[in-house]
C-alpha cells in the first residue's frame, strides 16, 4: 500500500489556514482526528472520517483556534501534538515562547508554560506511564522538561551549545529522550539520571575523533533539525542541513552508515518527517522541497517522490491504520496521499473466453460428469 501512495483525487482537507502549515498530528487512539498548526498561529482540528459515505468527500474542520480567539498563539505554531492516551487534550508550542495545554472540548488552555526563547519543538512520550513530562526544545541550549502533573518546568538537561531544534521520546523506553541541535549534535538522555546524557551520537563511530578534537561526536556537518524513531524504538533517524539523513542504532549509538544520497534540507527550523508503521520493509517519508521523498529505511533506496504541493513541504504524518499520508506545506494546503486501489478484473471476462493455453493445467477442470461417458 505504501508503494502505491498517490495524491487522492477524491478527498480534500478543508482549507482553513491562510498561511503555511508547519505541523500535523493524528491522534493515536482512533486515528480519526488530526491537528494542524500554521505560521499565523492558528490551530485547526479535522475529522478525517468520511461521514458522508460518498466516494468524494472533504475532511471537515470541526473547530479552530483562530486569529480572533483570545488565547491564540501570537506567532507561528511549530508543533502540535495530541495527548497520547485520549483526545480530550492536545498541546501546541510556538515562536511566541509558549507551550499551551488545551482542553479539546472547550478549546481553552488548561495550562501555559512560558520560556525565554523561541520554542522549536516539543514532545510527549507515546508510551510513558510513570511520568507526564513534555520535552521542549527552544532557542536556549538547555532542554526543558515540563511536568504536566505539577505544572512546573523544573527539570533541565544541559549539554547542547546552541538552540535545540527537535526533541523525541523513545517509543521503547519511557525515560529515554533524543534531542537535536544547531550545534551539529544529537544527544540521548535518561531523564532519571543526574548526569542525564547517555551518549552523543558520532557520525564517524569514534574513528575520526582521535585525529582532531573538533570533529568529535557530531551527528551531522550542519544543524540537526529532524529526529524520528522507528516504531520499535530500536533505530533513530536524523536529518541535518548537510543534506544528509542518518540511521542510528539507538541502544549502541552507532551510525549504521546507510546511504540515502542527498536529502535536500534547507529548513532553518525543525523539519517534521515520519516513518511507516507495520510495513516490511519500513519506509521514511521526508519533506524534500515541494515534494515528499519516500526511502526504504534499512537500504537507503529512494523508492518514490510524491509530487502535488506548490511550495515547500514542512511536515508529514501517517495514518497507520490505512497507511495514508497527510502533508502540510507553505502553500496553505494539506494533501492526502492514499494507496491506489488495484484495478478490479471486469466480471464479463470469464475463464472460457481466456485463451486456453494460458490456463495452468493444475487449474483446469479435471472432473467429468458420468453423462458424458455414458
Range of the domain at 320: 2-339
Query: Within a 13 Å sphere around the CA of 132, how many CA atoms are in the beta-carbon half?
Result: 10
Q: Is residue 370 part of a domain?
A: no
Instruction: Output the pLDDT for position 26.
Output: 97
How many separate domains does the chain show? 1
Residue 273, domain member (yes or no): yes
Give me the pLDDT at residue 218, please.
95
Tell me the average pLDDT across 181-204: 93
Can you point out the beta strands (E) in 60-172? 61-65, 77-82, 89-94, 98-103, 108-114, 119-124, 133-138, 143-147, 152-157, 164-169
Residue 363 lies in a domain: no
Q: Domain holding 52: CATH number?
A: 2.130.10.10
Question: Does 373 reside within a domain?
Answer: no
- Residue 347 CB partners (closer than 8 Å, separation 6+): none
- Separation of alpha carbons 231 and 30, rounded Å: 17
End-to-end CA distance of the chain: 53
CA geometry: angle at 116 spanning 115 and 120, to 5°?
A: 65
51-84 residue pLDDT tens: 888 989 999 999 999 999 999 999 999 999 999 9
Which of 315, 294, 327 has the alpha carbon at shortest distance from 4?
Answer: 294
Q: Report the pLDDT value the prediction gives residue 225, as an integer from 0 to 100.
A: 94
Does the pLDDT at position 358 exceed 60?
Answer: no
Per-residue pLDDT tens digits for 301-322? 999 999 999 999 999 999 989 8
Q: What is the mean pLDDT of residues 217-235?
A: 95
Q: Which residue has the higher pLDDT, 343 or 63?
A: 63
Residue 188 lies in a domain: yes
113-142 average pLDDT score: 96
Q: Provide the pLDDT for residue 220.
A: 96
Q: Is residue 60 part of a domain?
A: yes
Whole-structure pTM value: 0.89
Residue 72 lies in a domain: yes
**Does residue 358 sit within a domain?**
no
Amino acid at each position: 500500500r505504501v508503494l502505491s501512495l498517490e495524491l487522492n483525487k477524491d478527498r480534500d482537507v478543508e482549507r482553513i489556514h491562510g498561511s503555511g502549515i508547519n505541523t500535523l498530528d493524528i491522534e493515536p487512539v482512533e486515528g480519526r482526528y488530526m491537528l494542524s498548526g500554521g505560521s499565523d498561529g492558528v490551530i485547526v482540528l479535522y475529522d478525517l472520517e468520511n461521514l458522508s459515505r460518498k466516494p468524494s468527500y472533504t475532511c471537515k474542520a470541526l473547530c479552530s483556534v483562530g486569529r480572533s480567539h483570545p488565547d491564540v498563539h501570537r506567532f507561528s505554531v511549530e508543533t502540535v501534538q495530541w495527548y497520547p492516551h485520549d483526545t480530550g487534550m492536545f498541546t501546541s508550542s510556538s515562536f511566541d515562547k509558549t507551550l499551551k495545554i488545551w482542553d479539546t472540548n472547550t478549546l481553552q488552555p488548561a495550562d501555559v508554560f512560558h520560556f525565554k526563547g523561541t520554542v522549536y519543538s516539543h514532545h510527549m512520550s507515546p508510551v510513558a506511564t510513570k511520568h507526564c513530562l513534555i520535552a521542549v526544545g527552544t532557542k536556549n541550549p538547555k532542554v526543558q522538561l515540563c511536568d504536566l502533573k505539577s505544572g512546573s518546568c523544573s527539570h533541565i538537561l544541559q549539554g547542547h551549545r546552541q538552540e535545540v531544534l527537535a526533541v523525541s521520546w523513545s517509543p521503547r523506553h519511557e525515560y529515554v529522550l533524543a534531542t537535536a541541535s544547531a550545534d551539529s549534535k544529537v544527544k540521548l538522555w535518561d531523564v532519571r539520571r543526574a548526569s542525564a546524557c547517555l551518549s552523543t551520537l558520532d557520525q564517524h563511530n569514534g574513528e575520526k575523533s582521535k585525529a582532531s578534537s573538533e570533529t568529535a561526536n557530531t551527528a551531522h556537518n550542519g544543524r540537526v533539525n529532524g529526529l524520528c524513531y522507528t516504531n520499535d524504538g530500536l533505530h533513530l533517524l536524523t536529518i541535518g542541513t548537510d543534506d544528509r539523513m542518518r540511521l542510528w542504532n539507538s541502544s549502541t549509538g552507532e551510525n549504521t552508515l546507510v546511504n540515502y544520497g542527498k536529502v535536500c534540507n534547507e529548513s532553518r527550523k525543525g523539519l517534521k518527517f515520519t516513518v511507516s508503521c507495520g510495513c516490511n520493509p519500513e519506509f521514511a517519508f521526508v519533506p524534500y522541497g515541494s515534494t515528499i521523498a519516500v526511502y526504504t529505511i534499512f537500504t537507503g533506496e529512494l523508492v518514490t517522490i510524491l509530487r502535488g504541493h506548490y511550495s515547500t513541504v514542512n511536515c508529514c504524518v501517517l495514518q497507520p491504520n490505512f497507511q495514508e499520508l497527510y502533508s502540510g506545506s507553505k502553500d496553505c494546503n494539506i494533501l492526502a496521499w492514499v494507496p491506489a486501489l488495484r484495478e478490479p478484473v471486469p466480471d464479463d471476462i470469464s475463464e472460457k473466453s481466456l485463451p486456453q493455453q494460458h490456463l495452468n493445467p493444475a487449474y483446469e477442470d479435471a472432473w467429468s460428469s458420468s453423462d458424458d461417458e455414458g
